[in-house]
Amino acid sequence: MSNEEQSRRGFLKGAGLIAGGFLGESVLPDAAAAQSGARTTTAAMSKGARFRAALSAGQPLLLPVVESIILTRLCEIEGFQGGFMGGSGMAARNALPNTSIQTIQEVIDYETQVMSNTDLPIVADGENGGGSPVTTYRTVQQLERGGAAVIMIEDSTGPESEYGGKGVAMATKAVMAGRIKAAVDARRDQSVMIMARSDRPAKGYSEAETLDLLAALSDAGADAFFVNGYTLDQQQRAKAALKKPLMIGSSGPAAEWHAKGVDMAFYHIDDIGIGAMYIALKELKAKGGPFDEAAKWRLPRDVAARVIDQPGWVDKAKRYGVIT
């Protein structure tokens, strides 16, 4: 087998790390369902189609929060079927709190840079779409072109929603429904999922008020939902009412939330790396030189080579006469 065949993409496709099979009708767009019955290989499927296939398998979908190209590629190597990118990653990159201080274009550019350099299907945070449904249309266009498998649009109004506590004003039902309609209209690949996020429960809104909004967003075309602030029992009731995939943020066992009807959860592993570097800094300062204990957590050299596709690039360098 050549070095090229051992490249990262070849490894992922050959090992079949992303589940294939027929897509379930519950999350498959009608247009795709009407296509030829011939089985499509996962290698030829779009990111959105692969994400829908993973959901259709009926197993809990674990989504590591990824904030870099290297982390997405590690997820690929480990066989994860998707990842989650939020505006918090952009905020962290600029050492800012996650309160939508960064502009929507900064978030789009950041997420696109990562998504365009990985095969991992990503749930991409579109924040509030930029506010207006018309701006949301443009946001979704850019994120789809950037490689998103799922695009999430939330019901915040901006930093005022993020900073505000209980009872803060959120986007109205009409505005939020307009955002979702715009998102649905903007996408060109019907396998790309539109996810609606509501922070109403976390802001003190009742379960009934939130469900009323979610029903309207479902009618507007939302494919999936992230309801921030619901208990697992409330998630279960929402699933029964909406009959569409749900996502939560979690740090607990998948069996627990999946038993309540939740289909996927994102896990914040992204800040562990910063913590490890902080420990290394303290050890470096304390010892005046080496940081042997922290160094034990370094990425193994062979894994690092796979992440950057070193064999593939060396092979290209030989092919083009750069090295012999």
Cα separation of 23 and 37, whole Å? 11
Whether 269 has a pLDDT exceeding 70, the answer reads: yes
**Is residue 68 very low, low, confident or very high in pLDDT (cuts 50, 70, 90)?**
very high
Whether 10 has a pLDDT exceeding 70, the answer reads: no
How many Å is the Cα radius of gyration of the chain? Answer: 21
pLDDT at 37: 41
pLDDT, averaged across the chain:
86
- Any domain includes 237: yes
pLDDT at 24: 32
Same domain, 301 and 252: no
User: Cα 190 to chain center, whole Å?
Assistant: 17
pLDDT at 39: 35
- Any domain includes 20: yes
Could you give phi then psi for residue 322, rounded to 5 degrees?
A: -75, -40
Whether 97 has a pLDDT exceeding 70, the answer reads: yes
In angstroms, the Cα distances linking 116 to 125, 159, 217, 318 are 15, 28, 29, 26
Percent above pLDDT 90 for the chain: 72
Whether 88 has a pLDDT exceeding 90, the answer reads: no
pLDDT at 235: 98
CATH number (domain holding residue 69):
3.20.20.60
Same domain, 221 and 287: no
Joined tokens for residue 13: 């496709």
Whether 309 has a pLDDT exceeding 60, the answer reads: yes
Same domain, 38 and 99: yes
Give per-residue pLDDT as tens, 172-224: 999 999 999 999 999 999 999 999 999 999 999 999 999 999 999 999 999 99
Domain count, the chain: 2
Cα separation of 233 and 225, whole Å? 15
Same domain, 172 and 279: no
pLDDT at 43: 57
Task: Mean pLDDT check: name the lowest of 19-28, 70-79, 273-282, 306-315.
Answer: 19-28
Which amino acid, 254? Answer: A
Whether 18 has a pLDDT exceeding 60, the answer reads: no
Which residues contact residue 108 at a Cβ distance below 8 angstroms, ignoring those fewer than 6 apart? 126, 139, 142, 143, 146
Same domain, 30 and 61: yes
Span 34-63, mean pLDDT?
Answer: 78
Please name the helix (run of DSSP H) or strand (run of DSSP E) that holds residue 280, with its range, or none.
helix 272-287
Same domain, 64 and 194: yes
- Any domain includes 324: no
Whether 94 has a pLDDT exceeding 50, the answer reads: yes
Joined tokens for residue 68: 């870099």
Spatial CA neighbour of 222 closest among 197, 257, 189: 197
Give per-residue pLDDT as tens, 293-308: 999 989 999 999 999 9
What is this structure's pTM? 0.85
More confidently predicted of 16 and 138: 138
Range of the domain at 295: 275-319
- Any domain includes 182: yes
Which SS3 state, helix, strand or coil, does residue 142 take?
helix
Dmax (CA) of the chain: 69
Give per-residue pLDDT as tens, 233-266: 999 999 999 999 999 999 999 999 999 999 999 9
Give per-residue pLDDT as tens, 111-156: 999 999 999 999 999 999 999 999 999 999 999 999 999 999 999 9
Same domain, 190 and 212: yes
CA dihedral sign, ordered 79, 83, 88, 89: positive
Cα separation of 280 and 296, whole Å? 10
Choose the final residue of a domain: 270, 285, 309.
270
Same domain, 101 and 190: yes
- Any domain includes 61: yes
Percent above pLDDT 70 for the chain: 86
Same domain, 203 and 186: yes
Same domain, 190 and 255: yes
